[in-house]
Amino acid sequence: MTNHKAESITITVVGSGYVGLVASACFAEIGHRVICVDNDEAKVRTLQAGGIPIHEDFLPELLNQHRGGKLEFTTDLRAAAQAAQAIFIAVGTPQSRTGSADLSFVDAVASEIARSIDSYKVIVEKSTVPVYTNEWIRRVIERNGVPKDLFDVASNPEFLREGTAVVDFLHPDRIVVGAATDRASDLLKAIYAPLTSGEYYAAGNRIPGPRQQDEPPPLLLTSTKAAEIIKHASNAFLATKISFINVVANICEAAGADVEDVSRGIGMDSRIGSKFLRAGIGYGGSCFPKDVAAFRNVAELVGVDFGLLHEVERINEEQKLRFFQKVRSALWTFRGKKIGVLGLAFKGGTDDIRESPALDIVQRLIGEGCLISAYDPAAEERAKETIPPGPQMRYVDSPYAAAQDADALLILNDWKEFCELDLERLHYTLRYPIVIDGRNLFDPTTMTSLGFTYLSVGRPGLSQPVDPISVFHAPKKKER
């Protein structure tokens, strides 16, 4: 964006992961000066040299445009904290062994900020953290000798989704700001003013998305505790929606109904909404599993029984297992079977493999003696760190290479590229035309009419087990 009238604020973002890097690029895009700090020296060197460590649409464009101008990368948190008016903490908050959020990265950053600041700063929780973290950060900073009037701690949870992170950040449904003082909330309002005023959407070279100048995002001002709870509750609710539709899918499968019809019918109710009602192989990723566990842990700590979240987690685990059993019943035996796999990241559009149900299923198949040929448009390098290539695991560079001479093809995430496959080519590439689709990307009637044995999630006819004799002893398809 250029020529905006809003105030330019100096912002430090600590952490250059999916949230920190996207937030940094987007804050620069809306006119602020941004210093992005990470303690991973190799990552910072990559970023300084023009590299892009994660796969995210529009991120390369924004980084190329703003790097060296409004956006800089450093490992020097002290200097960055001193230069900034607002310091956003966007480091990881992984799950600890007890299920609670591990706040050690946040703690380390808060202590370092405390040792650095010499003028008023607003320290902003961008990471997803449990309620009361705000107070706890305040205490850490005070314990380091910083006077109360030299800082505020605010909460500004992030709702971006990997795969559409830049668009989500610049065209959000809402911006939530939890602050205890006007001074802190005024600064955060000023930071987001180019979005909330609609000014950004009037710019000719804006990143396209759903927001327009006359329909800017609302900024919801709350207490810091409410803001913290909003983030955990949002993710827990979305995970609940996914587990809910997965159980409905299992009912559909048993009853011979199509869950896609059912979820359309449910989603048309404006009280419910159609998003996150896609049946599949369960949720994964770096947020839902840990945030559901962390919110459950928060409930326990404050003495509230949130058994619903236990069920959500249990259903999610069972859904992966159910899909695995579906593959087993289709293939009859596993040992020595050659299986093509499409999708390794936890969903399409990202290279993030954290808590990926796809990787979980691939690991189980390898454990059963299968030979895997896997393709993912972006996640191969990261997946190799978890499952190194070897006799049972081959990484290939196209969906057709994954399908080549395979006994079955599994679809484990929802890259757009997979929806656009040449199905005839896929048919003659496979050794047996069995497609087991964990994301319901194809129409069962079309797939059956093309000669595939097609299994998906929660759709008619799928409760009948595949007759392995008829599939494996059927005449081989014509060669091309």
* Contact positions vs ligand NAD (CB under 6 A): 14-20, 37-40, 43, 77, 90-93, 105, 108-109, 127-128, 158, 160, 162, 286-287
Nearer to ligand NAD, 17 or 357 (CB): 17
Q: What are phi and psi of 464, to 5 degrees?
A: -70, 125
**Lookup result for tokens 């035996």:** 333
Q: Are 218 and 153 in contact (CB under 8 A)?
A: no
CA distance 216 to 320: 39
**Lookup result for tokens 């159910």:** 322
CA distance 350 to 354: 11
Q: What are phi and psi of 454, to 5 degrees?
A: -120, 115
Q: Are 344 and 356 in contact (CB under 8 A)?
A: yes
Minimum distance of ligand NAD from residue 104's CB (angstroms): 9
Helices (H), 380-443: 380-386, 399-403, 416-419, 423-429
Minimum distance of ligand NAD from residue 59's CB (angstroms): 12
Minimum distance of ligand NAD from residue 14's CB (angstroms): 5
Query: Strand, coil or helix: what is 172?
Result: coil
C-alpha separations of 93 from 12, 34, 45, 184 in Å: 19, 22, 24, 23
Q: What is the DSSP string of 7-24?
A: PP-EEEEE--SHHHHHHH
Residue in 26, 36, 252, 287 annotated catalytic: 287
Nearer to ligand NAD, 168 or 199 (CB): 168
Q: Between vectors from CA 397 to CA 356 and to CA 40, what angle results, nearest 5°?
A: 55
Minimum distance of ligand NAD from residue 409's CB (angstroms): 28
Q: What are phi and psi of 82, to 5 degrees?
A: -65, -35
Q: Are 418 and 393 in contact (CB under 8 A)?
A: no
CA distance 418 to 413: 9
Find the length of the chain. 480
* 3 Ramachandran zone, left/alpha/beta (phi>0; psi -120 to 50): left
In one letter, which amino acid is 65?
Q
Minimum distance of ligand NAD from residue 415's CB (angstroms): 17
**Lookup result for tokens 């990559």:** 46
Nearer to ligand NAD, 379 or 421 (CB): 379
Minimum distance of ligand NAD from residue 106's CB (angstroms): 8
Candidates 46, 56, 49; CA nearest to 18 is: 56
Minimum distance of ligand NAD from residue 291's CB (angstroms): 7
Nearer to ligand NAD, 277 or 287 (CB): 287
Nearer to ligand NAD, 275 or 335 (CB): 275
Minimum distance of ligand NAD from residue 77's CB (angstroms): 6
CB-CB neighbours of 82 under 10 Å: 16
Whether residue 36 lies in the annotated active site:
no
Q: Which tokens hold the place of 187?
A: 């600064």
The residues annotated with a catalytic role in the active site are 287
